[in-house]
């Protein structure tokens, strides 16, 4: 398993961006450097991070805990879905009638929905789903997503090959 810091496709990422414009937690250069160190290796020892950023091990531990508590970042194990039995991934565009927020909340509650984002454009929502196989994918789209009250239509984009997926945007 690969361990990574994820200041990712989520509210946590939004909060870290807002901090640069005064809307959330303030991130100084040292906090950004700590995040970069953990993005390279989520298991890097605090002492090694301290050497790289000019702080003591205890100070790094305190900063990391504060970043976690503020929701600026998460430290998670990132897996390759194929290696853990999930052979089908798709992005699903969803058009909604009525309250987009309630539909987004319903999709967020589904374990197969790894990523749910409200959008402006051709779709009201974009939802990344991870499934075991095509039958599972069909069941999720046809019997679960389309059954959510307010879902008007869906369009599926089945992944054939994943070329790039990174979590490194949190500090640039």
Question: In sequence order, what DSSP letters do the residues of 92-138 get, joined into one string?
Answer: EEEEESS-HHHHHHHHHTSTTEEEEEE-SSS-SEEEEEEESSHHHHH
Sequence-distant (≥ 6) Cβ neighbours of residue 163 within 8 angstroms: none
State the pTM of this model.
Answer: 0.65
Within 27-99, residue ranges assigned H as helices are 29-40, 46-53, 57-69
Collapsing DSSP to helix, strand or coil, 36 comes out as helix
Q: Are 109 and 72 in contact (CB under 8 A)?
A: no
Nearest in space to 104 (alpha carbons), one of 145, 73, 155:
145
pLDDT of residue 73: 87
pLDDT of residue 13: 41
pLDDT of residue 84: 58
Give per-10-residue mean pLDDT for the chain (172 aa): 45 40 73 89 91 94 92 76 69 97 97 94 95 92 97 94 71 60
pLDDT of residue 74: 84
Nearest in space to 42 (alpha carbons), one of 17, 79, 12, 16:
79
């Amino acid at each position: 398993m690969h361990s990574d810091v994820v200041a990712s496709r989520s509210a946590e990422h939004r909060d870290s961006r807002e901090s640069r414009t005064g809307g959330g937690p303030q991130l100084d250069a040292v906090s950004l450097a700590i995040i970069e160190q953990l993005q390279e290796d989520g298991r890097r020892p605090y002492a090694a991070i301290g050497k790289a950023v000019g702080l003591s091990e205890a100070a790094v531990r305190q900063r990391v805990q504060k970043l976690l508590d503020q929701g600026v970042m998460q430290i998670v194990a990132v897996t390759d879905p194929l290696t853990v039995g999930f052979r089908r991934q798709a992005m699903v565009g969803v058009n909604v009638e009525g309250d987009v927020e309630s539909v987004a909340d319903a999709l967020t509650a589904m374990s197969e929905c790894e990523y749910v984002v409200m959008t402006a454009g051709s779709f009201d929502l974009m939802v990344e789903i991870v499934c075991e196989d095509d039958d599972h994918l069909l069941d999720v789209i046809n019997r679960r997503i389309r059954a959510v009250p307010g879902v008007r239509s869906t369009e599926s984009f089945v992944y054939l090959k994943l070329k790039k997926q990174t979590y490194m945007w949190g500090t640039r």
